[in-house]
Amino acid sequence: MTVRHNDDAPTSSRITQPRQLGLLCYLALARPRGLHARDTLIALLWPDHDATRGRRALRNALHGLRQQLGANAIISVGDHLVGLDPAYISCDAIELERGGAVATAELSPPEPLHGLHVEGAGEFDRWMSEERTRLRTLMAQRRQLHVANAPLAPLVALRRPHSPDAAAMYARGHYLFLRTAHGGAPEELLRSRDYFERALALDPTFAPAVAGLSNFYAVAARRGVLVPFHEHFAQAIALSHQALGMDETLAIPHVHFAAQALYLDDDWDRAGREFATAVAKDPEYAEGHRFYGVWLGMVGRDAEALQEMEEAVRLEPDIAHMQSSLGAARLAVGDRAGAEEALRQTLAIDPRHAPARGRLVRLLEEDGRIDEALAERRRPPALLGADAFAAAHADAGSDGYRRVLLETMRAEAAAIETRLVERHPTTVNDIYSPPIVRLVSLYAQLGDRKRAREWQLQGMAERPALARWFASIPELRVPAGAELRSSR
C-alpha cells in the first residue's frame, strides 16, 4: 500500500505503524462509506484493549494520521464517529469502483493492499482478506473491459466537487439530526439546522444540505418543535423538491414524499413506491431502509420489513431508533429473543427511549417475566405509574402486577374513547398514530373483541384508509389465547 501527498513522492514510509495504516485503510474502504463508530474501530484494531486503553490508542493513531495527512483529512463528529474527508483524501480503489482508469493503466497492477498485516487483530485481518479479494476481482473485470476496448461505465456518479468545509458541516448536522430526531433534546435538534444552514452558506449548491434542512423541518414539525405543523411540514416538502432539483440522485426527498402520502393523504401505494425509490437511489441511506421497513410491516410484509430494518441497523448501529425499529420488526416475525436483544441495545444507547422501553416491558410481561418487567419499569428514568406496579407486586405478587396492568389499560382505553366521542381537536401525534388504532389495539389485548370490532367498523366508516392501519395491529393477528385476558 502506498500513500501519496498530492502528486509528490510516496509518504507511506512516514506512516510506519501497522495499526495506523490499517486504520487509514479501513476508514477509506470500509462500507458503508463515510463515518465509522469509534467503538467499531477499537474492536477491530485493538481487540485486547479495555475501553479506556482502546480509546487512547485510537486517539493516538488518529493524531498520527493527522500529522502525516493534514489536520483536515480526518473528520470527527461528536465523541462517537470518525471518518476521512473525501475533499482532502482520495483513494485509487474508490476511483477503480467509479470506473476510473486507475487499474487499466497497467495490465499487471500490484497486489491490492500488499504487505499490510496487523498483529493480534483477527477480525481486521479477515476484513482485509475479503477486501483484497474484492479488489482483485474488480481489477480483473476492469482489465477485461480495457482489453476489449469497452466503455467503462462509472459505478458511482461523479459530481462537481463541493466545498470541503460545507461537506464537514453537513456531516456534523446529519449525525446530530440522527441522534436527536426521535426523542433527543429539542435544542440539539435545532442545532442540526444550524449546521445545515452553515453548510449552505459555505456552498449554496450543496444539495445534501438542502435535503438535510428538509429532514429537520419534517421532524421538527412532527415533534412540535416548530408550529404550526402543516406550515412547517409543507416547508419540508418544498425543500425536498428543491434538493431533488439540484441533485436527482438524492434519496431523502422521497422519504418525505412517502410520509406525506402515507400520513396526510392516505395513499399507501404511492407511499410504498416513494419509500422503495429512496432505497433504490441510495442503498446506504439507513433512514430510507427504516421507513420502508415500517411501511412493509404496516402492509403485512413482515419478512421483508425485517430485512430492511436489519440493513438500517447495519448502516447505523449506534442510532437508538434504528435498533428500536429492528426490535419491533423481530417481534412481528416471532423472534422474541432477537427483539429483546435489539430493544436492550436501544436502551443502552438511549435509556430514555420510550418506545423501546414500552416494547421491552410488554415483551417481558407477555413472557411471564413479571419481576424483570417491574425492574424495567422502575429503572431510571422510571415509567409513569411504576410505583403503583411495585406496590401491587409487593402486596400480591404477579397477580397484583397483572391487576394494575389491566386497570391501566382500561383507563387508557376509556380516556381515548372520551376523546373520540367528544371530538377533541386532532393533534400532531394523532396524524402519525391515530388514537382509534391504539383503542382497537387495547381492546384486542384486553380480550374485548366485540368492542374492538365496533370501533374498527366506526373508524373505517369515517376513514376507509384506517382498514390498513387496523390490519397492522399485532393483537388482531395472533390466536386468542395469546391475548391478555380481562378478569371481568
Which of 68-72, 107-111, 297-301, 318-322 is least confident?
107-111
Q: Mean pLDDT throughout 299-313? A: 96
The C-alpha cell of 417 is what? 374513547
- Domain 164-370 class, CATH top level: mainly alpha
pLDDT given for residue 481 in this prediction = 41
Q: What single DSSP character describes residue 36? A: E
Domain with CATH 1.25.40.10 in the chain: 164-370
b/e sequence 160-171, b meaning 16+ C-beta within 10 Å: eebbbbbbbbbb
pTM over 0.75: no
Coil, strand, or helix at residue 352?
Answer: coil
The C-alpha cell of 219 is what? 421532524
73-85 confidence digits (pLDDT tens): 888 776 777 888 7
* Pairwise pLDDT comparison (257 vs 160), residue with the higher score: 257
Other CB atoms closer than 10 Å to residue 78's CB: what's the count?
A: 12
Q: H helices of 224-282, where?
A: 229-246, 252-259, 268-281
Segment of 48-52, 135-139, 418-422 carrying the highest mean pLDDT: 418-422
The C-alpha cell of 15 is what? 506512516
User: Is residue 297 pLDDT above 70, yes or no?
Assistant: yes
pLDDT given for residue 126 in this prediction = 84
pLDDT given for residue 1 in this prediction = 46
List, in order, residues 6 or more apart from 179 with CB less than 8 Å away: 78, 188, 319
CB–CB of 27/82 below 8 Å?
A: yes
The full length of the chain comes to 488
CB–CB of 172/180 below 8 Å?
A: no
DSSP one-letter string for 107-162: SSPPPTTTT---TT-HHHHHHHHHHHHHHHHHHHHHHHHHHTT-----SS------
Mean of the per-residue pLDDT values of the chain: 85
Strand partners, 165: none
Q: Which helix (H) or strand (E) holds 371?
A: helix 370-378
The C-alpha cell of 43 is what? 474492536
376-406 confidence digits (pLDDT tens): 999 998 998 999 999 999 999 999 999 999 9
Q: Mean pLDDT throughout 81-96? A: 74
Q: What single DSSP character describes residue 383? A: P
Q: Per-residue confidence at 438, pLDDT binned at 50, 70, 90?
A: very high
* Pairwise pLDDT comparison (339 vs 177), residue with the higher score: 339
Which of 30-39, 195-204, 270-279 is least confident?
30-39
pLDDT given for residue 4 in this prediction = 53
Which of 131-145, 454-468, 473-487 is least confident?
473-487
User: Is residue 250 pLDDT above 90, yes or no?
Assistant: yes
DSSP one-letter string for 58-85: HHHHHHHHHHHH-GGGEEEETTTEEEE-
Q: Which helix (H) or strand (E) holds 376?
A: helix 370-378
Q: Per-residue confidence at 18, pLDDT binned at 50, 70, 90?
A: confident
pLDDT given for residue 294 in this prediction = 97
DSSP one-letter string for 398-409: HHHHHHHHHHHH
User: Is residue 170 pLDDT above 70, yes or no?
Assistant: yes
Q: H helices of 260-385, where?
A: 268-281, 286-298, 302-315, 320-332, 336-349, 354-366, 370-378
Residue 435: CA count within 13 A, CB half-sphere? 18
pLDDT given for residue 104 in this prediction = 44
* Pairwise pLDDT comparison (67 vs 339), residue with the higher score: 339
pLDDT given for residue 232 in this prediction = 95
The C-alpha cell of 123 is what? 477480525
In which order are the strands placed within the sheet that holds 74-77?
A: 36-37, 81-84, 74-77
- C-alpha dist (Å) from residue 162 to 169, 205, 246, 313: 12, 8, 13, 29
User: Is residue 352 pLDDT above 80, yes or no?
Assistant: yes
User: Is residue 265 pLDDT above 80, yes or no?
Assistant: yes
CB–CB of 251/282 below 8 Å?
A: yes
Which of 55-59, 250-254, 482-486 is least confident?
482-486
Q: Mean pLDDT throughout 243-255? A: 94
Which of 26-30, 45-49, 270-274, 372-376 is least confident?
26-30
